[in-house]
Amino acid sequence: MRALRFDIVSIFPGIFESPFGDSIIKRACEKGLLDIRIHDLRDYTLNKHRKVDDTPFGGGVGMVMNVEPIDRALKALKKEVPNARTILLSPSGSTFNQKKAVALSFQESLILICGRYEGVDERVRLHFVDEEISIGDYILTGGEIPAMVLVEAVSRLIPGVLGDSESIMEESFSEGMLEYPQYTRPREYKGHKVPDVLVSGDPKKIREWQKNEALKKTLSIRPDLIEKTKRSN
């Protein structure tokens, strides 16, 4: 049984305490399935004021994160995890999806660099990381929340983290479609009833209903997923 190691480099390490200190992620760490380490980028700067940013050459608004502390952090971490895949969380990266999460789940270790301010020195992207990832076409204050999203999505693919391998296969996007609708007790609530087929006790009919409903839901909400599946086949 292997533990997937995440090394997260951020100037706000305290942000990760609550998300990683509860629920599935916490239990997975306690079971030795995950090894999550948070590093303060300011610990790797030579600036006496612990600054890790500066004004951009050529002018412009905001501040840009320096290349040197990031390089120093990566060198220190690579001594422990030389085969780690290094990822910069940035709005200009390729869009994160389930396919990417699956690919990353097979890595031995991942180093995540959380960008901030107006971004990072371009030399980081060009020379010091393996890839750049975005979680969507919108702007966030920094890369900390994207790092949490990536850790959550990848971690649940590690055997034993969820405890039920079948639940992974049936979740949204696993088969190129959204997950079918789910119901639980009570069977009727304010006139709204659970579909009869789900309480019929007929596994074949239930599975057929689930497939049909998953398709209908996907066509209604995310028809683009159907097109992507067609193009990949």
Average pLDDT over residues 207-221: 96
What is the C-alpha to C-alpha distance for residues 31 and 195, in angstroms, rounded to an integer?
A: 39
Tens-digit pLDDT profile for residues 62-92: 999 999 999 999 999 999 999 999 999 999 9
What pLDDT was estimated at residue 171?
A: 57
Interval 134-144 mean pLDDT:
95
Beta carbons of 180 and 128 less than 8 angstroms apart: no
The CATH fold assigned to 4-155 is: Alpha/beta knot (3.40.1280)
In this predicted structure, which of 15-29, 152-166, 176-190 has the lowest mean pLDDT?
152-166
Distances in whole angstroms, Cα of residue 186 to Cα of each of 79, 101, 192, 195:
56, 35, 10, 12
CATH 3.40.1280.10 maps onto the chain at: 4-155
Read off the pLDDT band of 163 (50, 70, 90).
Answer: confident
Residue 10 has pLDDT above 70, yes or no: yes
Residue 204's DSSP bridge partners are none
Return the percentage of the chain with pLDDT > 90, whole number: 84
Q: How large is the angle between the packed helices 223-232 and 203-221, nearest 10 degrees?
A: 100
Exposed/middle/buried for residue 46 (C-beta within 10 Å: 0-12, 13-18, 19+): exposed
pTM, full prediction: 0.88
Q: According to CATH, where is 1.10.1270.20 located in the chain?
A: 172-232
**What integer best gives the mean pLDDT of the chain?**
92
87, 113 contact by CB (below 8 A) = yes
53 against 166, higher pLDDT? 53
Rounded to whole angstroms, how far apart are CA atoms 216 and 154?
27
pLDDT of 223 above 90: yes
Give the pLDDT of residue 165. Answer: 58
Q: What's the confidence (pLDDT) of residue 146?
A: 98
* Predicted confidence band of residue 215 (pLDDT cuts 50, 70, 90): very high
- Banded pLDDT at 203 (limits 50, 70, 90): very high
Instruction: Give the 3-state secondary structure of 61-94.
Output: CCCEECHHHHHHHHHHHHHHCCCCEEEEEEEEEE
Asked whether residue 170 carries a pLDDT value surpassing 70, the answer given is no
Q: Which residue has the higher pLDDT, 176 or 210?
A: 210
**What is the per-residue pLDDT for 40?**
98
| Mean pLDDT along residues 26-53 | 97
| 172-232 has CATH 1.10.1270.20 classification | yes
At 117, the pLDDT band (50, 70, 90 cuts) reads confident
CA separation, residue 182 to residues 117, 193, 209 (Å): 41, 12, 12
For residues 94 and 132, is the Cβ–Cβ distance under 8 A? yes
Distance (Å, whole) CA 160 – CA 167: 11
When pLDDT is cut at 50, 70 and 90, the band that residue 226 belongs to is confident
In the chain, the percentage of residues whose pLDDT exceeds 70 is 92
Higher pLDDT: 33 or 170? It is 33
Residue 69 Rama label (left phi>0; alpha psi -120 to 50; beta)? alpha
